Structure 1
Amino acid sequence: MPPPPPDVPDVGLTISAAAATLGVTIDTIRYYEKEGIAPAPGRGPDGWRRYDAASLSWLAGVVMLRGTGMSVQEMREYAAAYRNGADEHDRLALLEQHHAAVLERLAEVNRHLAALERKIDAYKKRITTEPPGGATAT
């Protein structure tokens, strides 16, 4: 998981501060906790959730994995493997499998991007070579 965000007070951050730090909603954090993807944080003397550096680091990793397209089910499996004491080789295998899937999707997006760029170039060429009111490309 990535390093913890900076400036985490000793008492931890409230859920709203943690959400703002991570760029997600409070509901997102609660969902990850409910689904067992992120452990429930400790509570402060006021009874409110308090996210320490370790909690924020884990959540930042979850946000990153979701951002790479990892499914909620896959994140549940990864979290369960961690909680159940899977060794680093097993957890690495899960991440490498996801990495391969991300690379496949990235290659597909790059192919589509190249096609889009060709289409844009075709329009630009027609616009610069046709008289006003001429035919348009499809």
Structure 2
Amino acid sequence: MTTYSPAEAAAQSGFSIDTLRYYEREGILPRIERSAGGRRVYSDGDLWMLGFLRCLRDTGMSIEQLRRYGELSRDDTTMPERVALLEEHAASIRARITELDATLVRVEEKVDWYRGELRRTGDGAS
């Protein structure tokens, strides 16, 4: 089995070592195995979980929701609850995408207005 040091896990996940410790302390991550010397040792499964947590965090999932997901993921009987949590988060992401699309339209309209003004006044670069 391949194992990774905290520094390697941090580099591969994009989280800082402090965040890895925080996620473990808060129950977002399961307890990480320790070497004979007491150092944390991350597995491929831990890195997969960190990658998924990175995805969830990057999409705006709150620490509270991450904690809940972490708790649920340690019990095989909680799949329906995990599905519900992820469906709720997916709905939140879709709503944010809709908001961002509307905002993008407004920004693009303003860019078009400025370009029109630049053409009108002759100040625009061709």
Q: TM-score, normalised by structure 1?
A: 0.81
In 1, distance between residues paired with 2:26 and 2:77? 19
In 1, distance between residues paired with 2:50 and 2:63? 13
Match in the other structure for 1:62: 53
2:43 alignment partner, one of 38, 48, 52: 52
Are the counterparts in 2 of residues 11 and 44 from structure 1 also a CA contact under 8 Å?
no
Comparing 44-53 and 55-64, the one that deviates more: 44-53
Match in the other structure for 1:27: 18
Displacement of 1:85 in angstroms is 4.3
2:108 alignment partner, one of 97, 103, 117: 117
Displacement of 1:84 in angstroms is 4.3
Structure 2 unaligned segments of length 5 or more: list them: none
Displacement of 1:81 in angstroms is 2.0
Are the counterparts in 2 of residues 33 and 40 from structure 1 also a CA contact under 8 Å?
yes
2:81 alignment partner, one of 84, 87, 90: 90
Match in the other structure for 1:5: none
Q: Which has the higher helix share?
A: 2
Q: Give per-residue Cα distances to partners, 1:30-50, cap 9 Å, x unaligned.
A: 111111101121112343211
SS at match of 1:49: coil
Match in the other structure for 1:13: 4
Q: TM-score, normalised by structure 2?
A: 0.89
2:67 alignment partner, one of 58, 71, 76: 76
Identity, % of aligned positions: 36
In 2, distance between residues paired with 1:26 and 1:18? 8
One-letter code of the match for 2:97? Answer: L
